Amino acid sequence: MALEEQGYKYKICKGVEYVQNKEKKVLDLLRDVRASVALLRPDVENQRLDDILEVVEKGEWILQKKVNPEKPAVELNYNIDLSEAKQLIDDYRKNSEGGCQSCKNLRRFSKNMETYKYCKIGEDESSVLNPSVSNLSSKIEKFYKEGCGEDKEVKIKRKLKELLEGQN
């Protein structure tokens, strides 16, 4: 029995692409990925959105060993590139669960072709202009990955896990 692989690249549909509400956009995206893959494998249509999210975050979905009815002696694998969908999910996660990059208080400015970052709470541009250190203020340097907690004001309120609760 021969094995064939059919590659597909998932493209975000215009209906999802133009949604302004970030939470609705993620939910619509996951539903669209599920519906698109269900065209190849109808059993996918009943999968939960958190399962779809898990696959999207991997960046590809390999559907294995479907028999092609036109060539019954050939097993057909579908390799679906989900990199475009993954990027949208990564952006959502960064803006809802990240450290300083997800906070509305993060400020940037440019000087001499360099970009500097500081926190608008308790800092200003002068907090960064020490060329011997880095392009980050001391507060941003300390909390960039985890966030400070006390003053953090996230750009997107609900994390992905919270967003998917009760959804299907």
Q: Which residue has the tokens 């208080």?
A: 105
- Does residue 89 sit in helix, strand or coil? helix
Residue 79 tokens, joined: 């390799």
Please calculate the CA angle 7-61-9 and round it to the nearest 5 degrees.
40
Token pair, residue 10, equals 């998932």
Digit-by-digit pLDDT tens for the chain (168 residues) are 556 778 899 999 999 999 999 999 999 999 999 999 999 888 899 999 999 999 999 999 988 765 556 666 556 788 999 999 999 999 999 888 888 888 899 999 988 888 899 999 989 888 887 655 678 888 888 888 888 877 788 888 898 999 998 887
pLDDT of residue 29: 97
Please give the model's pTM, rounded to 2 decimal places. 0.77
* Token pair of 53 as six digits: 């999210």
Q: Is 81 exposed, middle or buried (0-12, 13-18, 19+ CB in 10 A)?
A: middle
Structure tokens of 19? 């949604």
- Give the amino acid at 141: E
pLDDT number for residue 92: 94
Residues 6+ positions from 78 with CB-CB distance below 8 Å = 5, 6, 7, 8, 40, 41, 61, 62, 63, 66
**Pairing, β 60-67 against β 74-81:** antiparallel
- Give the tokens for residue 161: 């896990």
**Domain edges within the chain:** 2-97+157-164, 100-143
Under a CB-based contact definition with an 8 Å cutoff, are residues 37 and 61 in contact? yes
Residue ranges in 39-135 assigned as alpha helix (H): 49-58, 83-97
| Nearest alpha carbon to residue 114 among 100, 93, 135, 99 | 135
